[in-house]
Amino acid sequence: MNVLMVCLGNICRSPMAEGILNHIAASEGLDWAIDSAGTGSWHVGEAPDRRAVNTCRKNGIDISGQRARHFEQSDFRDFDLILTMDRSNLDDVLLLARNDDDRGKIKSILHYADVTGDVVPDPYYDGRFDEAFDLINRACSAIVRDAR
């Protein structure tokens, strides 16, 4: 399966989600292609936020080699599942969808977690990286469990 994680700038939530899902999928022996992108383009080429890197590192996941990129319409062709971190990201990606097949690939990541709401808080502004990590980890664990 090819999975794309999407947030606003691709330096906090979606890189953590990419790293977490890669880690869980690899530990389960799954040969998945996982990437991340942002709906905004101002961080393209940058490494993840150091706070995201540190949060993942303390949980045994290295995301330091990732680089931000912008979501592109070709991502609909290249990915089976496109997971967004909040309603704004979901709406932005839906606006780029060309047809029902594209729209069918897009979901909130928290669709897979047993939580109320559909927003992974953006820790860039409030520093809630541990909370974001925990929510994303719950969702990614469920994605892998459901794929089995």
Q: Which residues are catalytic?
A: 7, 13, 122
Q: Tokens 């939530």 label which residue?
A: 13
For residues 111 and 91, what is the distance between their CA atoms, to the nearest angstrom?
Answer: 15
Please enumerate in sequence order all residues whose Cβ is within 8 A of that of 109, keeping only pairs 6 or more positions apart, or say none: 5, 17, 83, 84, 85, 120, 136, 139, 140
Please enumerate in sequence order all residues whose Cβ is within 8 A of that of 55, keeping only pairs 6 or more positions apart, or say none: 16, 129, 130, 132, 133
